[in-house]
Structure 1
């Protein structure tokens, strides 16, 4: 299996944080009205806090100095009203953004799921499912939280700090300059922190994906884990990844603690120095007590906007990383249909492979192709069995027909029409497939089977397909018949039952072309015989390519093709190949079972 492109050990080159975050704008645009209104409300609320020091200055230099109790009560009322207004505005801001940003997250998740459905099989072969799951859950939650809080308050706090600094300088220039002394070192520290934290945040989120993969594989493979007593080794693998993630999270915490401590200490030292200098000037009569109170109140009002810089930058960097990871999937090239003129129905010609070659996109340089110049013709209405040793390319060849993979060279024709020029939706209504490893979904038996038919199919088509696959018996004994949910991966059913349902799904839509990859391998000999008898009637109505390992399956076919080393070595009837091909005779003798 090729390595997935993103791991916790290999972090891609980071781009500009602003440029990455701007890619979220198409999702935010539909709710921009409420989003910008919420930001404006938060700015107003934050600026109200800066009015409180001005009221304190008036209160100290006026009513307090004049010993006017009525004025003191009036000032207290002003302060209370300002506090209530500030709290109300911040509550309004949260209400304004809650619903729109939830819709942004839902739309991004829906788009991600849709993209995953359109990406080629080669993409899914390279990517671990846990990495994809973490992008659709944890990463999108981080993006939503960033839009709801850090993004707004980076703007709000910047405006508040600028307005506060202007007020400080207006109240007293010399003390204002003392308080502004830490600005340069804080900016340098934040720049350094941003770079370091971004790298660690990326590593942590990739490790979450790795951990999710281990959990998912252990749950889906719980029968293997228990059957072979491997719970300790699986627990050890989980523990190693969990410890690694914990170490990375602690690195993030140390970075955040360090920057937060420095951002807190430097302004506090400046406030202390301003307090000492201001007190000396008040004692000398060079500064009023009210001005000093207002100055220090303004400085204290700016503590949270300044101290939160580290926290907000950390959340912003995690959002940058989450956005990068999201768009790594969204930027992947999806399956595309070639632009071709409308197809003109031709005379039935069956299924043709003309000079078809295939190699996996990430195969090592110099590696031989999996398929090499395959020429094969399945005549209209004919069933052709494909036989070959393990690794000969049988499954790969069948996957090229519905374009689960794209041929590297040559063409595949359905009744004279090149599949590479057909729309995939149309192609996959003409070709139906059943794989050796059947996949069922968390849905009812009927829903799983009818996935192979169009929307108009109903109970008659379902009953027919279950009968052909000899699945009607066991389905009838289920608690709710065809309405019974089979559970995740259909693990509540036996392997043979799952395979019969997969076969029923393949034949329910009466396809013109049928591709079966060893569809009877999990059946006992008696069930296999009954399925083969019913399947013969279906195969009379379609053109079929069947991967076969056993003589009983081969006997379903009109002719047999031997695939050896990625090439078609021989084509003929079963009896002809037994006489003319030693390799075919060896495979059919059962001596090749170990190879399989």
Structure 2
């Protein structure tokens, strides 16, 4: 705040200096020029030059003072926004388009910074200068001063009307900019799909429609801005014209000296910029207010998946994971659809591997997400070693339970950084930490059959690119699995992490996983019969409930629905193998044709 105050003081001093110059001009006109004393003109002229130099220095000082603090404020706001986005639950990110969040973090906060450094200071200072200047004008000639002020009344009326209309259009413009950013991001991330289906022109037409909508809004903003500029430029000019006619008449009547008349219009000229800037600064302030509102839309979002006030801790977890009468419904799900999970009861014993099977859409992935509180149960409880997961801090809970997802997401970082993401204590550069990190990394890559990482251009230091898109789907899944294994959790939750692997690679990964799962509690969502074979027991999820638990053979014998699910998985696996074989044959034919 001190920087803003100092900057405003420097700007105000600069404007007060500029208001002093007309007084010196009055002395020159009524003194040396009237008396014919040429020798007195030089020191007064030097005084005008000195005042102008001081004004310029104060403007430079204003910029210098406020530049660094305003960027610090922007950085703190951006850090606070990012921290909030990291803290908010997955349900929030399910509802908010990423482009809207991106526009708030970049363009909106940049606008707020510029307003703090420039708009706020000048708006306050220019308003003060207008008030002080008006008082000076009245002191010179109360008649001319009152006429000048009376002509300004339409400006305040127009400004009041402008504020309400411009605020609405400004908010609409910034929201549309966020939607446009979302469209660009989705197109870039989905470029392979758009090209594969030949839908580039369709995406372009959709983008054009959104861009045209934003353009129309920006034109509406410009029209509102132009309207107020007309008033701001015309009204002072009309006021000066009236004052000029009236001032010449008063001077002819001897009620004003020529010097006072010159000083009056010189002062009015100095006030021209503060008056003209009000329209721009008002629009700027309204844009900044909208940007601030959008910023606090995120910061004020309540977090329903937070840490407890008095968290408990589990020093050495055994790995017993239990679901007790678990109910869950997505936040925006209509009540008529009922709960997705409707009374789930399931206990995983320490060191046990449990496969979770069921038809598509029955809630398997949602059930796994409840273990690490990506979502919170809406009824019942999930416990780790008898402790409700909501009683642990999220950091500790996610240290004890690691997840690997079917849709493997990697970050724009090296293979090493991606795999060791869950082991921040191994990020040091000292030899002992580095050696331990290498050991963990090597073991995790071996288990996940991700040895291909060593053959990348820079080995384990190779940057995998945005979301790991430079790698194949199977490579991304193997690195994601290695990341989960490297975290060394008490409970490992795998949401069909091998779906993109060929059968041979899957068999190797499963063989290596058995060594890990021997001492680790594991919950595996199975979409392939081969994955079920990894499990000690199998849980069947049907219509939001666990309807059967047992070994694979027991369920095949006792559960008709389980037999139906397994047969569906086998059919899907056969189709995938056939498709893979067709792709291989097509590739082989293409190579033969190329050789010919």
Confirm or deny a common fold (TM above 0.5).
yes
Structure 2: distance between partners of 1:306 and 1:347:
69
> Match of 1:43?
12
Give the Å deviation of 1:122: 0.7
- CA deviation map 1:514-559 (0-9, x unaligned): 1000011000000001000000111101011000011100000011
Structure 1: distance between partners of 2:65 and 2:473:
52
Give the Å deviation of 1:339: 3.0
Match of 1:469 among 448, 458, 464: 448
Match of 2:327 among 327, 332, 357: 357
Give the Å deviation of 1:241: 1.1
- Secondary structure of 1:560 counterpart: strand
> Match of 2:522?
544
> Match of 2:57?
88
Are residue 507 (structure 1) and residue 480 (structure 2) matched?
no
- Secondary structure of 1:557 counterpart: coil
Are residue 441 (structure 1) and residue 411 (structure 2) matched?
yes
Structure 1: distance between partners of 2:100 and 2:555:
47
Q: How does 1:417-428 map to 2 (within 5 A)?
A: 417-428=387-398
Are residue 571 (structure 1) and residue 541 (structure 2) matched?
no
- CA deviation map 1:40-72 (0-9, x unaligned): 011010011111111111111111112222223
- Secondary structure of 1:180 counterpart: helix
Give the Å deviation of 1:365: 3.1
> Match of 2:266?
297
> Match of 1:493?
471
Structure 2: distance between partners of 1:454 and 1:163:
60
Match of 1:409 among 365, 379, 383: 379
Match of 1:459 among 433, 438, 457: 438
Structure 2: distance between partners of 1:238 and 1:327:
28
> Match of 1:368?
338
> Match of 2:199?
230
Q: How does 1:54-65 map to 2 (within 5 A)?
A: 54-65=23-34
Q: Which stretch has the larger CA shift, 158-167 or 128-137? A: 158-167
- Secondary structure of 1:295 counterpart: helix
Structure 2: distance between partners of 1:518 and 1:282:
92
Are residue 557 (structure 1) and residue 564 (structure 2) matched?
no
Residues 469 and 501 of structure 1 are in contact (CA less than 8 Å); yes or no, is this contact kept in structure 2?
yes
Structure 1: distance between partners of 2:118 and 2:462:
45
Residues 384 and 558 of structure 1 are in contact (CA less than 8 Å); yes or no, is this contact kept in structure 2?
yes
- Secondary structure of 1:452 counterpart: coil
Change over 3 Å in CA distance of 1:145–1:446 after alignment to 2: same
Match of 1:521 among 499, 503, 510: 499
- CA deviation map 1:178-237 (0-9, x unaligned): 101123221111111111111111011111100110111111111112111111111111
> Match of 1:399?
369
Give the Å deviation of 1:244: 0.8
Structure 2: distance between partners of 1:344 and 1:550:
34
Match of 1:243 among 189, 212, 215: 212
Match of 1:74 among 4, 20, 43: 43
Structure 2: distance between partners of 1:51 and 1:101:
30
> Match of 1:161?
130
Residues 311 and 393 of structure 2 are in contact (CA less than 8 Å); yes or no, is this contact kept in structure 1?
no
- CA deviation map 1:277-312 (0-9, x unaligned): 111122233321111111111111111111111110
Q: Which stretch has the larger CA shift, 320-329 or 186-195? A: 186-195
Give the Å deviation of 1:341: 6.1
Change over 3 Å in CA distance of 1:346–1:144 after alignment to 2: closer
Residues 559 and 572 of structure 1 are in contact (CA less than 8 Å); yes or no, is this contact kept in structure 2?
yes
- Secondary structure of 2:172 counterpart: helix
Structure 2: distance between partners of 1:89 and 1:476:
60
Residues 452 and 507 of structure 1 are in contact (CA less than 8 Å); yes or no, is this contact kept in structure 2?
no
Structure 1: distance between partners of 2:312 and 2:250:
89
Q: How does 1:267-278 map to 2 (within 5 A)?
A: 267-278=236-247
Q: Which stretch has the larger CA shift, 188-197 or 334-343? A: 334-343
Structure 2: distance between partners of 1:411 and 1:284:
93
Match of 1:120 among 84, 89, 114: 89
Structure 1: distance between partners of 2:424 and 2:225:
55
Residues 515 and 544 of structure 1 are in contact (CA less than 8 Å); yes or no, is this contact kept in structure 2?
yes
> Match of 2:222?
253
Give the Å deviation of 1:509: 2.4
Structure 2: distance between partners of 1:348 and 1:66:
102
Structure 1 residue runs of 5 or longer lacking an equivalent are 1-31
Change over 3 Å in CA distance of 1:221–1:249 after alignment to 2: same
- Secondary structure of 1:290 counterpart: helix
Structure 1: distance between partners of 2:390 and 2:502:
38
Structure 1: distance between partners of 2:51 and 2:315:
77
Structure 1: distance between partners of 2:105 and 2:314:
42
- CA deviation map 1:253-272 (0-9, x unaligned): 11011011112211211111
- Secondary structure of 2:568 counterpart: coil
Residues 454 and 509 of structure 1 are in contact (CA less than 8 Å); yes or no, is this contact kept in structure 2?
no
Change over 3 Å in CA distance of 1:347–1:300 after alignment to 2: closer
Structure 1: distance between partners of 2:250 and 2:493:
92
Change over 3 Å in CA distance of 1:88–1:348 after alignment to 2: closer
Q: How does 1:6-25 map to 2 (within 5 A)?
A: none
- Secondary structure of 1:589 counterpart: helix
Give the Å deviation of 1:81: 1.2
Structure 2: distance between partners of 1:259 and 1:522:
60
Residues 381 and 544 of structure 1 are in contact (CA less than 8 Å); yes or no, is this contact kept in structure 2?
yes
Q: Which stretch has the larger CA shift, 341-350 or 561-570? A: 341-350
* Cα root mean square deviation, aligned: 1.7
Change over 3 Å in CA distance of 1:479–1:348 after alignment to 2: closer
